[in-house]
Amino acid sequence: MADFTETVSEGFMMDPTNATGGLDMNETESQDSTVFATDFTEYYLPQIAALSSMLCSGLIIAEVREDGRQGAAQSTTFIAVGAVSQILLSMSAGDMLFSLGWFLASWAHFGGSCIFQGLIIQLGYMASLLFSSSLAVVYLLMIECNWDQGRIQARIPYMMLILWSICLASALVPLALHRYRYQPVGPVCWIRSPNPKDATFIVASLQLIPVWSCIFLDSVIMFLIFRKARLLEAQVDNVDQYQESLDSHTRTTEDDSVQIDLLSLPDVNASLLRGSEGLGDRESHHGVLSFVEFMLFEPVPMVFPYQDEAGGYGMNIDGSMLISSAVSNTSRAHDPREDQVDPVEDYMIQQEEQVTGQPEEQQPEVTITTELQQEGSFTSNQNDNTIHHIEPSTIIDSASTAESSADSTPSTPRSHKRSQIIAQQGMWYIAGFLMTYGFATISILVFGISEEWNGPLDRTSYFFLASQAVFNFLVFSHGRRQMKTWVGATLKSWIWNGAAYCHRCWCLCPTPARPRLVPL
């Protein structure tokens, strides 16, 4: 990118009016302030952002390593660091290298220092891109394909070897082709073609194509995860509505099991349809955007009754989910940890359960199982009023049966809620990535159209490029139940307690349409 500061400075030095003293004092001060603002936003502000990013990357690495240390101290029979943790470690290492290059900024000039800066920037740049996209893929596999971290863990070593090899090769290729391929580009040294306006194949293949490919991939994955999250939200809402209708339209039998009265099914169906009408009301208030969102992501629930072999009645929602015809009469208190799901910590909990044989908690209330090719039968336990689903017999080979049984996981309202939270966390990671590289991509597109660099847009992209680890730390700390390091816990408390306080103040602020809620 063009060096905007040098252009402005050279303009001032070559101005004949300035040389003859024709400018008054006010105009000179205005020019000085403009130069200072340009220097600050182009050099010093990215350095501040890079320093913050290095701190955040170090905290993420320290937190994940502390998880691994505690897991190794508890047991030596499992790998303490899971798939998501290893990807976070590699991504944070790449962010730290990338931020270090931006922190050096104007320190590097032509020669060895410039080559060193460009080398670590390119290495961190590729690592940040590839591992951010890999993290998005892992979240998609966990949410959409129901992969557990153990299954992903088996493929992590190969993925790490391939991705780090690509990163190292991309950093060494410019040195092999031309020693001074790393040259000053704006405030840093990076890959630059001999002609600044000539995007050569090397520059395109090592800078432009990777970031555009990752942006496209992450955008598609974010769309898929968002759609899955809305589907999970709708399924959880359907279960809640089903339970409410069940309480008002049930009858108790001799064995104290709860069954659905077939005559009440139209009322239940009408209740669910009224819920979908509420979605239409939201659409009418929010315009075309909400209408498109409603059409894409809001499933319209329909209820179809069926009768199992034992004589009980059940409900088939949308023809895809089977809800058991009996639920537990016991209720449990809301666990605050349900609102915070961290795949890094969850992996350790799962491994500890496999070692000790004692799961943390098993409280299924409503069993939801995916309908296969035939309706399954249910058997009830008269003691605890729970339902056990017997898988239907399907015409598939034994290999498919083994694979499906290994991949199947119990699907409950709690698991749907946890999957929904993990999906939201994955979307926030992707959103931070898109925000980081979005401004740089827009700047390149503007240059391609106008053949001129936009100075303010370039300087904005510098700040966001150096800030990616800050966004990653915000997502990481928000979803984490407990920070293991003192610095991480203190920083999380400052950030999110302050954000909660500001949000509360904003909600309590009076507006013309909303008077003051509470007295001061």
**Tens-place pLDDT, residues 37-59:** 777 878 888 899 999 999 999 99
Give the pairing type, strands 387-390 and 377-380. antiparallel
Mean pLDDT of 317-338: 36
Tokens of 306: 């069926």
Least confident of 41-45, 166-170, 330-334: 330-334
Model confidence at 472: pLDDT above 60: yes
Residues 6+ positions from 146 with CB-CB distance below 8 Å:
407, 408, 409
Mean pLDDT of 149-164: 89
Would you give the DSSP letter of residue 360? S
Amino acid identity of 410? P
428 compared with 273, residue with greater pLDDT: 428
Mean pLDDT of 383-401: 34
Strands, E assignment, 163-320 = 182-185, 188-191, 250-252, 258-260, 303-307, 313-317
- 0.95 exceeded by pTM: no
Q: φ and ψ at 368, to 5 degrees? A: -120, 120
Q: Cα–Cα–Cα angle for 180, 181, 186, nearest 5°?
A: 100
Predicted pLDDT of residue 97: 94
According to the per-residue pLDDT averaged within each range, which of 155-159, 319-323, 498-502 is highest? 155-159
pLDDT for 203-250, tens place per residue? 778 888 999 999 999 999 988 988 888 887 777 666 666 666 666 555
308 compared with 43, residue with greater pLDDT: 43
485 compared with 350, residue with greater pLDDT: 485
64 compared with 322, residue with greater pLDDT: 64
Tell me the percentage of the chain whose pLDDT exceeds 90: 15
Predicted pLDDT of residue 192: 76
Cα 182 to Cα 196: distance, rounded to the nearest angstrom:
12
Contact between 385 and 430 under an 8 Å Cβ cutoff? The reply is no
Would you give the DSSP letter of residue 40? I
28 pLDDT tier (thresholds 50, 70, 90): low
- Say how many C-beta atoms besides its own lie within 10 A of residue 396's C-beta: 12
95 pLDDT tier (thresholds 50, 70, 90): very high
Predicted pLDDT of residue 81: 58
353 compared with 85, residue with greater pLDDT: 85
Model confidence at 123: pLDDT above 90: yes
Residue closest to 53 by CA, chosen among 475, 474, 469, 472: 469
Is 357 exposed, middle or buried, given 0-12, 13-18 or 19+ CB atoms closer than 10 A? exposed
pLDDT for 337-389, tens place per residue? 444 445 555 544 454 444 444 444 444 443 333 333 333 333 434 344 333 33
Model confidence at 115: pLDDT above 80: yes
Each domain of the chain, given as residue ranges in start order, spans 4-215+417-477
Strands, E assignment, 248-399 = 250-252, 258-260, 303-307, 313-317, 321-323, 368-370, 377-380, 387-390
Predicted pLDDT of residue 449: 87
Contact between 89 and 64 under an 8 Å Cβ cutoff? The reply is yes
According to the per-residue pLDDT averaged within each range, which of 42-46, 412-416, 445-449, 486-490 is highest? 486-490
According to the per-residue pLDDT averaged within each range, which of 139-148, 172-181, 280-289, 302-311 is highest? 139-148
> What does pLDDT average to over the chain?
66
Predicted pLDDT of residue 210: 92
Give the CATH number of domain 4-215+417-477: 1.20.1070.10
Model confidence at 403: pLDDT above 50: no
Mean pLDDT of 255-263: 42
83 pLDDT tier (thresholds 50, 70, 90): confident
Model confidence at 329: pLDDT above 60: no
Rg (CA), the chain: 29
Would you give the DSSP letter of residue 204? I
Tokens of 11: 């303009």
Give the pairing type, strands 250-252 and 387-390. unpaired
Mean pLDDT of 313-337: 37
Residues 6+ positions from 12 with CB-CB distance below 8 Å:
18, 31, 35
Dump the DSSP string for 66-117.
HHHHHHHHH-SSS-SS-HHHHHHHHHHHHHHHHHHHHHHGGG--TTHHHHHH
Model confidence at 121: pLDDT above 90: yes
Model confidence at 120: pLDDT above 90: yes
Helix (H, G, I), strand (E, B) or coil at 454: coil
Model confidence at 127: pLDDT above 80: yes
Cα 272 to Cα 242: distance, rounded to the nearest angstrom:
8
Tokens of 415: 């698991």
Element (H, E) at 202: helix 201-203
Output the CA–CA distances (angstroms, integers) from residue 257 to 5, 328, 337, 368, 384, in the order listed: 77, 9, 31, 18, 9
Tell me the percentage of the chain whose pLDDT exceeds 70: 51
